[in-house]
Amino acid sequence: MADVQQATGKIEAHALAKHVRMSPQKARLVIDLIRGRKVQDALQTLRFTPKRAAGPIEKLLRSAIANAERKAEDSGAPLDVDELFVNECFVNEGARWKRLRPAPMGRAFRYQKRTAHLWVGVAEHHVAAAERVAATQAEAEAQKGVRGTARRVRKALTGKQNAPKKGKKK
């Protein structure tokens, strides 16, 4: 996974919460508010949204951000959290809890308590990813130049500057 990540240069992460005890329809109203927004804007929106679904979704978004930071740390790439945005997010319907309510004359009425599966994915903006990759390549080139200079200085000091190499001759 890290190899694919290095090739594209874009860091992506997601978080999933299953069987959250709320209606998927009501959760979709809140999820639609944050889709495509920068992470900081999405967190502010969720903090001040007066819907019950905002709490679990905010917790899930924070988890996705932490996953992105961890993924960047594992791959050795620096990550600016301010450059993350909500790449994709959706709500699927979970299992329904079937319950019975007493009704007149010994009968029962059925009702369902709905659950939802929440999925939030964050990604680094492509411009920020390109800048990060360019910066790491420039740093690698600078390190390469420093190493070459150190070798030349070491050879000059030891006097082995033009010593013949052992091995096959071409």
CA–CA separation, 83 and 85 (whole Å): 7
Task: Using the predicted structure, report yes or no on whether residue 87 has a pLDDT greater than 70.
Answer: yes
Helices (H) and strands (E) in the chain, counts: 5, 5
Predicted local confidence at residue 143, as pLDDT: 77
Alpha carbon 30 to its chain centroid, in Å, reads 20
pTM: 0.71
Find the mean pLDDT for residues 7-20: 84
User: 169 by DSSP, 3-state: which?
Assistant: coil
Nearest to 117, CA basis, from 102, 96, 135:
96
Task: Using the predicted structure, report yes or no on whether residue 35 has a pLDDT greater than 50.
Answer: yes
Predicted local confidence at residue 25, as pLDDT: 96
Of the pLDDT bands very low, low, confident and very high (cuts 50, 70, 90), residue 44 is very high
CA–CA separation, 46 and 57 (whole Å): 8
List, for residues 111-167, the tens digit of each pLDDT value.
999 999 999 999 987 777 777 777 777 877 777 766 566 666 666 666 655 555 665
Of the pLDDT bands very low, low, confident and very high (cuts 50, 70, 90), residue 9 is low
Of the pLDDT bands very low, low, confident and very high (cuts 50, 70, 90), residue 43 is very high
